[in-house]
Chains A and B, each alone.
Chain A
Amino acid sequence: MQGGTAIPLSSHAVGGTADVYDSSRLPPAYLRELYELVRYRDLVVQLVSRDIRTRYKRSVLGVAWTFLNPLLMMAVLTLVFSRVFRGDIQHYAVYLLSAQLVWIFFAQSTTQAMNSLIWGGALITKIYLPRSVFALSQVGAGLVNLTLALVPLLLISFVSGAPITWALLWLPVPMLLVACFALGVGLVLSTVAISFPDVVEMYQVALTAWYFLTPIIYPVAALPDSMRWLMNLNPAYYLVEAFRAPVYAGLPPEPMTLIAGTVAAVGVLALGWFWFTSAADDLAARA
């Protein structure tokens, strides 16, 4: 028989030579997950597109909803809060919506990361796939939605007369930082949630508190001095500010804001990555 049949071997090696799997020679989990993620990159794309398609397929308005949703939400919030902060904040609609969109991106993708891993729970006990695809594709889908929502955001900026400048070209930087931060938080939550499903509910409570502790609907100046220190410890504050500056003020993000945001995003992502990948094999054994 032809022992070395000329079947093209895949270029990636899993613990040994190509097409040989050796459980005793696997690279460390945090590295292997990265290799496998590259190999399964098309799956991530498929999951992102599935998410976006199914989100709108059953709604009458379809993708238009992506535009309408932030507009309506903003209309409601602006109506209420522009009276509270009357005169304090110029272009309140833009001030609010810019931060609100970032927050929704963060809150939704972290929550969905947990849920989709729980959804994939039955799957990952039967077939091998890099388990981080679930969190990653949710953050990817959120990023696509955020990008789409930039259209109504800029429209409102324009209409309300907020400055529109070249600083807008900075936007991909804070967006990427928020994505890293969300992925890190999503991975941490997923690790915990697979053992303890009640974390999903507890997180919703925590999110609400976090939302109000972050200057999204109010200006930082509205905080009493005794609470200002809290902002220095709140990574969401830096990330929101970094995104808001180009849209609302027409200025590049403050260097210190960017540095603090980067440290938070990279730190949390590293934490989530190492923890999740080291626990991922146990996750598959649990169900």
Chain B
Amino acid sequence: MQALRHPSEPPLTVLEPAAFPEAVRIDNVSFRYRHHHERFTSLKEYAIRRIQGRVRRSDVWALRDVDVAVRQGEVFGIVGANGAGKSTLLRLIAGVLRPTRGRVVVHGWPVSPLLEIGAGFHPDLSGRENVYLNATLLGHTKRDVDERLDSIVDFAELGDVMDEPLRTYSSGMIVRLGFSVATEWEPKVLLVDEVLAVGDEAFQKKCWARIQGFRQQLATVVLVSHQLSYVLATCSRAVWLDRGVVRALGEPNAVVNAYRDAAAG
């Protein structure tokens, strides 16, 4: 997914997001990572230091008082430098992390994370076995997969090799299969972390078309990207995070400009 919209396609008619209900609410959220000052790799070392009273802990606040609401049907961009808390925010929405303070509400659970394509794929298992494993990791039941298996295989264009072990696949084939599973079920909230280049040009077009389809069904997309031009082209709103704090929020042009100015200055 180089872009949610393929450059050659006409731009989507802009939906008026204010009319739609909230899909994701980040309510005054702060998140703290607890770090041991020194990274202990062994229990022995930790125990010795503990006895010596040399265990120090430092807390890192990855997010501070972040207050953001995303409405249904929006494509919401998150920009910021490395370590700004972008991925932490995505992981909070995905339910992987729980806020230290504040509250996260997501309508349209479970979210569909395009963060980990092909989670749990095993090289010795066949393509078909891997589809079942991957889809159940994403929270689907075996019955769900039974119903959708043909459609998944068709989309990935791997009909004739589904019984071969995955280690005989090319990396492009593996990603195609992973993407196909991850997007088979129409999500209400789709999380995208950075650019995912999936297969060749023709397959990328198919991916874009599929994600466009989700948008027409009013799926909400929250994406993190370092490619500002891409954020400008696809997002209806954006937020700029700077060391865990919201610096700008709203219309993508204004947010991206503020971020660029700060980076340049």
Binary CB contact string for chain B from 147 to 164 against chain A (1 if under 8 A, 0 otherwise) = 000000000000000000
Binary CB contact string for chain B from 80 to 118 against chain A (1 if under 8 A, 0 otherwise) = 000000000001101111110001111111110101100
Chain B: interface residue total (CB-CB under 8 A): 50
Which of B41, B43, B91, B105 lies in contact with A125, CB distance below 8 A? B91
Q: Nearest residue in A to B95 (C-beta to C-beta)?
A: A128
Which of B19, B33, B115, B119 lies in contact with A1, CB distance below 8 A? B19
Residues of A within 8 A of B188 (CB): 7, 19
B94 touches A127 (CB 8 A): yes
A20 touches B109 (CB 8 A): yes
A54 touches B122 (CB 8 A): yes
- A171 on interface, CB distance cutoff 8 Å: no
B136 touches A43 (CB 8 A): yes
- A22 on interface, CB distance cutoff 8 Å: yes
B33 touches A285 (CB 8 A): yes
Which of B106, B122, B139 lies in contact with A21, CB distance below 8 A? B106
Q: Nearest residue in B to A20 (C-beta to C-beta)?
A: B107
B40 touches A195 (CB 8 A): yes
Residues of B within 8 A of A50 (CB): 122, 125, 129, 133
Min distance, Cβ A10 to any Cβ of chain B, angstroms: 8
Q: A127-B116, A281-B97 are in contact. Are A40 and B41 (CB under 8 A)?
A: no
Q: Which of under 10, 10 to 19, 20 to 34, or 35 or more describes the interface residues of A?
A: 35 or more
Min distance, Cβ B107 to any Cβ of chain A, angstroms: 5
Residues of B within 8 A of A21 (CB): 95, 104-106, 109-111
- B46 on interface, CB distance cutoff 8 Å: yes
- B137 on interface, CB distance cutoff 8 Å: yes
Q: A126-B94, A126-B96, A199-B43 are in contact. Are A23 and B103 (CB under 8 A)?
A: yes
B98 touches A26 (CB 8 A): yes
Q: With contacts defined as CB atoms under 8 Å apart, how many contacts are there between chain A and chain B in the complex? A: 128
Binary CB contact string for chain B from 204 to 231 against chain A (1 if under 8 A, 0 otherwise) = 0000000000000010000000000000
- B120 on interface, CB distance cutoff 8 Å: yes
- B124 on interface, CB distance cutoff 8 Å: yes
Which A residues, 174 to 198, have Cβ-Cβ distances below 8 Å to chain B? 192, 195-198
B113 touches A126 (CB 8 A): yes
A42 touches B43 (CB 8 A): no
- B57 on interface, CB distance cutoff 8 Å: no
Residues of A within 8 A of B21 (CB): 3
- A123 on interface, CB distance cutoff 8 Å: yes
A22 touches B97 (CB 8 A): no
A196 touches B133 (CB 8 A): no
Q: Nearest residue in A to B46 (C-beta to C-beta)?
A: A196
- A202 on interface, CB distance cutoff 8 Å: yes
Which of B99, B129, B138 lies in contact with A53, CB distance below 8 A? B129
Q: What CA separation (Å) do A26 and B92 show in the bound complex? A: 14
- A124 on interface, CB distance cutoff 8 Å: yes
- A118 on interface, CB distance cutoff 8 Å: no
Min distance, Cβ B83 to any Cβ of chain A, angstroms: 15
- B34 on interface, CB distance cutoff 8 Å: yes
- A46 on interface, CB distance cutoff 8 Å: yes
* B interface, CB within 8 angstroms of A: 19-21, 33-34, 40-44, 46, 73, 91-92, 94-99, 103-111, 113, 115-116, 119-120, 122, 124-125, 129, 132-133, 136-142, 165, 188, 218
Closest 4 CB pairs of A and B: A196-B43, A43-B136, A198-B42, A21-B109
